[in-house]
C-alpha cells in the first residue's frame, strides 16, 4: 500500500498542471477561495427521505463533564470556531470574514477531512522522508484539495444557536447537512446543567446516507469515526475550561482517533 501511494504521489506531480506555486486555502483570499464561497452559498439543505431504500437513523451519546454548563457551552463554541483546532483529521473551514468569530444563525461551513495529513501519517520511514512533503506542494495539493471538496467533506448550515438560554434551559448548537455531504440529516449538541460544576453534553446525530456504498462504509467504519470526532470536540472543550470528561457512553474503543 505504501509503495502504491508513493507511486500515485509521483505520478500526480508529473502529470498535473501547476497551480501558480500556491495551494488552495479557503482561509486565504484567492480565486479558488472566491469560487469555494460561491459554491458553498449555492448548496441546498439535504432533506431526509423516508421513502428511500436507505433508512433514517439516529445516534445519540451523552458525555458528562466536570464543568458548569455555561462554561462548557462557551468552551465548545470557542473550540469549534478556532481555525487552528483539529478533530483527528477534520478541520472546520469557514469564510475568511467569519474565521475565528462567533457562529451565527444560517452560517455555512465545511468540515474538511485533510487528505494531505492522512497521507503523511500513512507514509513510514524513508517513504515519509522522500514523499511526505509532496502533499504540501503544487500541483498535488490542488488535486487533494479538489478531492476533499468533492468526496471527503461534510457541508453544514447552522440551524439552531442558543448560547444564552433562559435559566434552566439547554445550551444548543445544531447544524443541518448540505449538498456535497455524503449524508442528509443534522447534528445537535445540547448542554444541560446537572449539578454545580457538572454538566451533560448530548450529541444527537440524525442521518441518512446518500448512496448504498456509503451506507455500507458508514455502518462498518464511518460511524465509529464520527464518534471519535465528537469525543475529541467535547474533550477539547472540557480541557479549555479546566474540566474533563468523567463519563461517556461512547465506547472506549471509539474514543481514540
Average pLDDT, the chain: 81
Domain residues for the domain of 250 are 2-254
- Residue 254 is placed in which grid cell? 471509539
Task: Categorize the per-residue pLDDT at 138 as very low, low, confident or very high, splitting at 50, 70 and 90.
Answer: low
Q: What does the pLDDT look like over 143-177, one tens digit per residue?
A: 445 544 555 689 999 999 999 999 999 999 999 99
Q: What is the pLDDT of residue 256?
A: 78
| Angstrom distance (rounded) from CA 231 to CA 237 | 10
Give the domain CATH number at 155: 3.30.530.20
Tell me what the mean pLDDT of segment 225-232 comes to: 92
Among the ranges given (12-16, 19-23, 70-74), the one the predictor scored with the smallest mean pLDDT: 12-16
Q: What is the pLDDT of residue 175?
A: 97
| Angstrom distance (rounded) from CA 196 to CA 68 | 6
Task: Categorize the per-residue pLDDT at 113 as very low, low, confident or very high, splitting at 50, 70 and 90.
Answer: confident
In sequence order, the 6+-apart residues with CB closer than 8 A to the CB of 182 are: 154, 209, 210, 211, 214, 218
- Structurally, the chain folds into a number of domains equal to 1
Instruction: Report pTM.
Output: 0.78
Q: What does the pLDDT look like over 85-96, one tens digit per residue?
A: 998 778 899 999
Tell me what the mean pLDDT of segment 118-136 comes to: 45
Amino acid at each position: 500500500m505504501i509503495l502504491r501511494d508513493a507511486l500515485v504521489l509521483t505520478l500526480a506531480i508529473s502529470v498535473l498542471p501547476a497551480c501558480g506555486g500556491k495551494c488552495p486555502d479557503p482561509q486565504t483570499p484567492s480565486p479558488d477561495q472566491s469560487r469555494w464561497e460561491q459554491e458553498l452559498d449555492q448548496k441546498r439543505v439535504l432533506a431526509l427521505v423516508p421513502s428511500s431504500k436507505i433508512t433514517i437513523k439516529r445516534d445519540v451519546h451523552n458525555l458528562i463533564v466536570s464543568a458548569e454548563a455555561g462554561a462548557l457551552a462557551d468552551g465548545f463554541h470557542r473550540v469549534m470556531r478556532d481555525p487552528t483546532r483539529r478533530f483527528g483529521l477534520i478541520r472546520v473551514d469557514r469564510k475568511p470574514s467569519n474565521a475565528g468569530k462567533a457562529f451565527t444563525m444560517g452560517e455555512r461551513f465545511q468540515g474538511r477531512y485533510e487528505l494531505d495529513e492522512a497521507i503523511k501519517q500513512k507514509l513510514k520511514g524513508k517513504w515519509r522522508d522522500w514523499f511526505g512533503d509532496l502533499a504540501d506542494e503544487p500541483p498535488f495539493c490542488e488535486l487533494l484539495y479538489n478531492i476533499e471538496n468533492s468526496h471527503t467533506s461534510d457541508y453544514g448550515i447552522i440551524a439552531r444557536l442558543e448560547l444564552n438560554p433562559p435559566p434552566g434551559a439547554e445550551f444548543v448548537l445544531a447544524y443541518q447537512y448540505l449538498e456535497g455531504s455524503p449524508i442528509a440529516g443534522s447534528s445537535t449538541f445540547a448542554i444541560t446543567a446537572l449539578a454545580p460544576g457538572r454538566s451533560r453534553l448530548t450529541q444527537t446525530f440524525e442521518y441518512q446516507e446518500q448512496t448504498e456504498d456509503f451506507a455500507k462504509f458508514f455502518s462498518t467504519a464511518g460511524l465509529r469515526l464520527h464518534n471519535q470526532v465528537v469525543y475529541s470536540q467535547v474533550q477539547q472543550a472540557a480541557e479549555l475550561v479546566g474540566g474533563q470528561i468523567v463519563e461517556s457512553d461512547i465506547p472506549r474503543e471509539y474514543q481514540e482517533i
